[in-house]
Amino acid sequence: MDSFNAAMSAGLSLKQVRKSYRISKEVVTIFDDLNLEIAQGDFIAVVGPSGSGKSTLLNLIGGIDRPDFGEISFAHTRLDMLSEAELTAWRGANVGFVFQFYNLMPMLTGAQNIELPLLLTSLNSRQRRDRVQTLLELVGLEDRGRHLPSELSGGQRQRIGIARALASDPKLLLCDEPTGDLDRETADDALKVLRILNAELGKTIVMVTHDEIACHSARTVLRLDKGQFVTQRAA
């Protein structure tokens, strides 16, 4: 895949992480002494009831939120030690996000949605077009790049979302309920793409899901409950 590098390291480590939020006058603790190790190239599914901290976990791993205490490391970089500017640059270079409801710009075509993150890079227009075409082929939508999101099925929109997440060749993909808005057949199509990205391109994937079938695509399933991992099993 042009300059895409499947062998890049993407190990993650959370050590003694504590995270709370103030809601009105009350302090709500989400995590207290949370620990997690994710090897490079792994595919992790995180399950658990609503309010267990799954979305907060993704936000911490993705550098969107900061811990109150503890260490979060990615490929030997301490995320909790970075400035806001450094964290933004790190996130843009290392993390791709896949959302339940796609988060596509409705007035842009599929190809233009994929190209959006590339506008912040040094790639010229020809290089951006080539990268977009490569990504469309990767997700099996090379004939849908000129279509608006409203002209695509839910599964096709999610695959465009996955392609956009890959635009900057991130080492880590964070997926928040990627099959939550899809029927079974289209969900399986999206999961097939994620499996390819993990097995063939070496992307590290952390997927939050309520979909038990989706868990079978992961290598490891972690159950999060009341801010702690309570069970772990092979998928």
What torsion do the CA atoms of 128, 132, 135, 137 make, to the nearest 10 degrees? -130
101 occurs within a structural domain: yes
Q: What is the CA radius of gyration of the chain?
A: 18
Model's pTM, two decimal places? 0.88
In the chain, the number of structural domains is 1
207 occurs within a structural domain: yes
Q: Are strands 43-47 and 204-208 parallel, antiparallel or unpaired?
A: parallel
32 occurs within a structural domain: no
Query: Residue 129: which CATH number?
Result: 3.40.50.300
Written as tens digits, the pLDDT of the chain (235 aa) is 444 443 334 489 999 999 999 888 899 999 999 999 999 999 999 999 988 999 999 999 999 999 999 999 998 899 999 999 999 999 988 999 999 888 999 999 999 999 999 998 889 999 999 999 999 999 999 999 999 999 999 999 999 999 999 999 999 999 999 999 899 999 999 999 999 999 999 999 999 999 999 999 999 999 999 889 988 877 6
DSSP 53: S
Query: Residue 124 and residue 176: Cα distance in Å, rounded?
Result: 31
The amino acid at residue 127 is Q
Consecutive H or E run containing 95 = strand 95-98
36 occurs within a structural domain: no
